[in-house]
């Protein structure tokens, strides 16, 4: 990918993210976090409160972290590729993944965790132990499932005989396990068999074709290639999520930040496969790559222009973003009839209405009684 094309892509991409983050109504999970979370997500969602008068009031920090991630991912690719144009291409593929786009425009901890993971990998490759330790400590403090990361890094350090990193990851892993009691990563209960649900979530995270190649790339590296710290983090997290899904539901934000950063390994494997073949035998591999890239572009377009599909669907409730818009439309109807309260059974939807200035009629009645 040429430099000019890449910078044009980044400009359009970030503009689209800002537009989508500002115009998309608050979602049910976002509204719940906005009113009930007591940790870092509360701070982030209230950081820019009242600045813009739109969705950026609670989403701006997440768009910012997404921009930082694009820079960090590009820096990380320079550790893998000597050709800067390949780094441009790998970064573009990373940014077009559905999971990366949605994490940039929705309130979630994954985009922050991803920043720390990318920073840690860069610090490790540059042998900056102090910055590695600081990054791991921050990860411990903000991510309830950081034990996944510490176990993965610990396995890598053990295999590579890296005593300092092994001790550091072991100490932080023990702290996470016993002091914080997993701090959010719950393991227990009766086996429920959520494997297929997890599989579908990974497909949605990567897109179908990319997920298949992701699985192939990790498996091939396991069998033939040199395994670096990025592979250990992604592979261990992925396997752990699969094992855990056999007995319970898996929260994707616990694992996605550690798994999705392995996109660069997919590009490495693709280039290795391509360049060992004569030019006349490369055509089908190139066509396959262009097809995968085309599906990513189309999925990105669906996300960015999702609102237009409401005009096509007869049943708007079938739209994947319906839960974002339905309470917002209800608020507009209530404002037209000058009504400032409305009660719905769903607590999450009630929070959405509350964000737009519509309180529960039950709460309003109780408030009037106390007065």
CB 129 within 8 A of CB 41: no
Helices (H), the chain: 3-23, 28-36, 40-47, 56-77, 84-96, 98-105, 110-125, 129-142, 147-159, 163-174, 195-206, 208-223, 229-245, 252-260, 263-275, 283-304, 322-336, 347-355, 361-370
- Read off the pLDDT of residues 307-320 as tens digits, 9 standing for 90 and up: 999 988 888 889 99
Check residue 347 and give its pLDDT: 92
What does the domain layout of the chain look like in residue ranges? 3-304, 313-370
Q: Which two tokens stand for residue 280?
A: 């006349």
Which whole number is the average pLDDT over 133-140? 94
Check residue 2 and give its pLDDT: 82
- Read off the pLDDT of residues 270-315 as tens digits, 9 standing for 90 and up: 888 876 666 666 787 788 888 989 999 999 999 999 999 998 888 8
Check residue 176 and give its pLDDT: 84
Q: What is the DSSP string of 148-187?
A: HHHHHHHHHHHHTT-HHHHHHHHHHHHIIIIISGGGG---
Check residue 177 and give its pLDDT: 80
Higher pLDDT residue, 362 or 41? 41
Q: Single out the residue of 295, 263, 289, 303 nearest to residue 13, CA to CA.
A: 303
Check residue 183 and give its pLDDT: 45
- Read off the pLDDT of residues 341-356 as tens digits, 9 standing for 90 and up: 888 888 999 999 999 9
Check residue 281 and give its pLDDT: 66
CB 355 within 8 A of CB 337: no
**What percentage of the chain reaches a pLDDT higher than 90?**
57
What is the maximum alpha-carbon separation in the chain?
82
Higher pLDDT residue, 189 or 180? 180
Q: What is the DSSP string of 106-147?
A: S--SHHHHHHHHHHHHHHHHTT-HHHHHHHHHHHHHH-TTTH
- Read off the pLDDT of residues 196-240 as tens digits, 9 standing for 90 and up: 778 888 888 898 889 999 889 999 999 888 899 999 999 999 998
Distance, CA of 264 to CA of 9 (rounded, Å) = 18
Distance, CA of 283 to CA of 360 (rounded, Å) = 61
Check residue 182 and give its pLDDT: 46
Non-local (6+) Cβ contacts of 210 within 8 A are 93, 97, 266, 292, 295, 296
Position 191 pLDDT exceeds 60 = no
Given the structure tokens 């820096």, which residue do they identify? Answer: 75
Check residue 70 and give its pLDDT: 95
Q: Which two tokens stand for residue 294?
A: 């085309």
- Read off the pLDDT of residues 72-116 as tens digits, 9 standing for 90 and up: 999 999 999 988 999 999 999 999 999 999 999 999 999 999 999
CB 90 within 8 A of CB 84: no
CB 107 within 8 A of CB 33: yes
Position 28 pLDDT exceeds 90 = yes
Q: Single out the residue of 86, 93, 135, 90 nearest to residue 115, CA to CA.
A: 135
Position 157 pLDDT exceeds 90 = yes
Distance, CA of 174 to CA of 182 (rounded, Å) = 10
Which whole number is the average pLDDT over 45-65? 94
Non-local (6+) Cβ contacts of 190 within 8 A are 247
Other Cβ atoms less than 10 A from the Cβ of 229: the count is: 18
Q: What are phi and psi of 341, to 5 degrees?
A: -145, 150
The angle, 0 to 180 degrees and rounded to 10, between the axes of the packed helices 229-245 and 147-159 is 130
Distance, CA of 55 to CA of 321 (rounded, Å) = 15
Check residue 179 and give its pLDDT: 67
Mean pLDDT estimate for the chain: 88
Which whole number is the average pLDDT over 130-155? 91
Non-local (6+) Cβ contacts of 64 within 8 A are none
């Amino acid at each position: 990918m040429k430099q000019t094309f890449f910078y044009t892509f980044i400009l359009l991409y970030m503009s689209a993210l800002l537009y989508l983050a500002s115009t998309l109504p608050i979602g049910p999970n976002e509204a719940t976090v906005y009113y009930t979370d007591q940790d870092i997500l509360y701070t982030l969602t209230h950081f820019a409160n009242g600045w813009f008068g739109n969705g950026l009031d609670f989403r701006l920090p997440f768009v910012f972290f997404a921009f930082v991630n694009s820079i960090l991912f590009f820096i990380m690719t320079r550790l893998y590729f000597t050709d800067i144009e390949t780094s441009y291409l790998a970064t573009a593929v990373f940014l077009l993944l559905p999971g990366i786009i949605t994490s940039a425009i929705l309130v979630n901890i994954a985009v922050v965790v991803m920043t720390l993971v990318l920073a840690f990998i860069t610090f490790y490759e540059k042998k900056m132990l102090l910055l590695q330790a600081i990054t791991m400590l921050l990860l411990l403090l903000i991510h309830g499932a950081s034990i996944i990361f510490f176990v993965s890094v610990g396995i890598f350090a053990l295999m590579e005989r890296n005593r300092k990193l092994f001790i550091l990851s072991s100490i932080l892993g023990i702290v996470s396990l016993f002091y914080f009691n997993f701090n959010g990563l719950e393991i227990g209960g009766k086996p429920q068999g959520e494997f297929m649900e997890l599989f579908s979530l990974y497909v949605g995270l990567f897109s179908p074709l990319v997920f298949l190649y992701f699985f192939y790339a990790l498996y091939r590296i396991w069998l033939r290639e040199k395994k670096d710290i990025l592979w250990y983090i992604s592979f261990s997290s992925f396997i752990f999520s699969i094992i855990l899904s056999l007995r319970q539901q898996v929260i994707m934000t616990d694992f996605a930040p550690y798994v999705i950063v392995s996109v660069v390994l997919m590009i490495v494997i693709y280039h290795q496969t391509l360049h060992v073949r004569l030019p006349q035998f490369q055509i089908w591999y190139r066509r396959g790559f262009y097809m995968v890239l085309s599906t990513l572009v189309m999925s990105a377009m669906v996300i960015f222009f999702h609102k237009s599909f409401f005009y096509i669907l007869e049943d708007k409730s079938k739209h994947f973003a319906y839960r974002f818009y339905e309470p917002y439309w209800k608020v507009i109807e209530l404002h037209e009839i000058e009504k400032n309260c409305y009660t719905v059974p769903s607590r999450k939807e009630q929070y959405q209405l509350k964000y737009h200035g519509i309180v529960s009629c039950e709460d309003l009645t109780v408030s009037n009684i106390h007065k």
